Amino acid sequence: MTMFFYLASIVILCSHRNLQKKANWFSVTDGEVEDIKGYIKGSVKDMQSLLTDVGNNIPLEEDRFGKVEDERVSLRCNFRKVCRI
């Protein structure tokens, strides 16, 4: 699990992998934080565009989703079972 905390101009990235707790500190500018917020908002908007009902998290019909042809890309995908390339 990875969590992000934003305090003033410091971002703390906490990762919990293999029972090892690790924290990394990064200094960022207010402009960088705004860029990240914009990226996240855009990503959420993109994901919501794939839903017929955002409030109930109902996706579009399965045939509306394209499948990746490059097997190297699909090896890292969490939805391989759906595609069955």
Residue-wise pLDDT tens for the chain (85 aa)? 445 555 555 555 555 555 566 666 767 788 888 888 899 899 999 999 999 999 999 999 988 877 778 888 878 787 777 766 5
Residues contacting residue 23 through CB under 8 Å, at least 6 positions apart: 12, 13, 14, 15
How many domains in the chain? 1
Q: Are 80 and 68 in contact (CB under 8 A)?
A: no
Expressed as residue numbers, the domain containing 73 is 2-83
How many angstroms separate the CA atoms of 40 and 28, rounded? 16
Overall residue count recorded for the chain in this entry: 85
Q: Which residues of 51-85 are buried (b: 16+ CB within 10 A; e: fewer)?
A: eeeeeeeeeeeeeeeeeeeeeeeeeeeeeeeeeee
* pTM beyond cutoff 0.75: no
